[in-house]
């Protein structure tokens, strides 16, 4: 399960979360990703990990055959469930990303946006084992997260003994939260995924990184 600290932060931030998608300097990157995800997941049975408020769920649902969107935080998921998906096959489930239950189904694609950066370095293999357990061999996996951009990203406030980095983030209710936020290099990602992936492709945009691989 994600840490209580991280869950509390996203519960409190749920109503203001999508403001991050309004940043003017990031619109070119976001436009590319909206088109890219819809294209790469078209016709697929997708599990979306850490769906949050459903921003990407709505976009991918337009082309995917089906989506099961999971998150561990209830408040963001309430927002996601309130959105209009038309007649598309979308289902929401509260679930632990480190222990995805087999009852969710079997999938030939996966999407995780802004999740990898919140995984403690010691738990990367736990997450990958959990995700791959519900995927079919040959499944297409798409990952996306933030690059650290000096002067634009929230500064790193702390680094622990394991190498995890943390930011201090304010929320509109006046609280401030210590949030685990790692910024892996391409080499870090390739090393973590090498035992599991073939046809791995990494792309750095201005503010985000994208990675796609096929599960062995």
Model pLDDT for residues 184-209, shown as the tens digit of each residue: 999 999 999 999 999 999 999 999 99
**DSSP track, 33-68:** HHHHHHHHTTT-EEEEES-TTSHHHHHHHTTSSEEE
Cβ(70)–Cβ(101) below 8 Å: no
Q: Is the pLDDT of residue 5 over 90?
A: no
Q: How far apart are CA 203 and CA 186, in angstroms?
A: 9
The reported pLDDT for the residue numbered 4 is 86
Instruction: Give the whole-number percent of the chain exceeding pLDDT 90.
Output: 92
- Bridging pattern class, strands 135-146 and 158-159: unpaired
Which among 74, 77, 192, 198 has a CA at the least distance from the CA of 128? 192
User: Which residues are within 8 A (CB) of 55 and not within 5 positions of it... i.e. 6 or more apart?
Assistant: 18, 21
User: Mean pLDDT lowest for which of 2-11, 90-99, 150-159, 167-176?
Assistant: 2-11
Cβ(48)–Cβ(68) below 8 Å: yes
Q: Is the pLDDT of residue 2 over 80?
A: no
Cβ(112)–Cβ(49) below 8 Å: yes
Cβ(25)–Cβ(152) below 8 Å: yes
Q: Is the pLDDT of residue 3 over 90?
A: no
Q: Is the pLDDT of residue 1 over 70?
A: no
Q: Is the pLDDT higher at 95 or at 13?
A: 95
Q: Give me the mean pLDDT over the 149-154 stretch.
A: 97
- Bridging pattern class, strands 45-49 and 66-71: parallel
> For all residues of the chain together, what is the average pLDDT?
96
Q: Which helix (H) or strand (E) holds 49?
A: strand 45-49
Q: Give me the mean pLDDT over the 137-152 stretch.
A: 98
Could you give phi then psi for residue 69, rounded to 5 degrees? -105, 125
Domains of the chain, CATH where assigned: 4-148+183-215 (3.40.50.150)
**Tell me: the pLDDT tens digits for 77-106?**
999 999 999 988 999 999 999 999 999 999
Q: What's the pLDDT band for 119 if we cut at 50, 70, 90?
A: very high
Question: Buried (b) or exposed (e) across 37-48, using 16+ Cβ within 10 A?
Answer: bbebbeebbbbb
């Amino acid at each position: 399960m994600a840490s209580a600290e991280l869950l509390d932060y996203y519960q409190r931030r749920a109503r203001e979360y999508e403001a991050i998608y309004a940043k003017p300097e990031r619109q070119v990157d976001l436009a590319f990703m909206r088109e890219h995800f819809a294209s790469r997941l078209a016709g697929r049975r997708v599990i979306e990990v850490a769906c949050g408020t459903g921003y990407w769920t709505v976009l991918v649902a337009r082309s995917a055959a089906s989506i099961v969107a999971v998150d561990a935080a209830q408040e963001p998921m309430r927002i996601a469930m309130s959105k209009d998906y038309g007649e598309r096959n979308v289902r929401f489930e509260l679930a632990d990303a480190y222990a995805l239950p087999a009852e969710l189904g079997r999938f030939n694609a996966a999407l995780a946006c802004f999740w990898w950066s919140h995984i403690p370095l010691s738990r990367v293999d736990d997450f990958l084992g959990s995700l791959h357990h519900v995927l079919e061999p040959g499944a297409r996996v798409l990952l996306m997260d933030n690059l650290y951009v000096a002067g634009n990203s929230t500064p790193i406030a702390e680094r622990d003994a394991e190498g995890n980095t943390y930011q201090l983030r304010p929320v509109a209710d006046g609280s401030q939260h210590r949030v685990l936020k790692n910024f892996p290099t391409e080499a870090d990602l390739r090393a973590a995924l090498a035992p599991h992936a073939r046809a791995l492709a990494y792309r750095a945009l201005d503010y985000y990184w994208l990675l796609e691989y096929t599960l062995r």
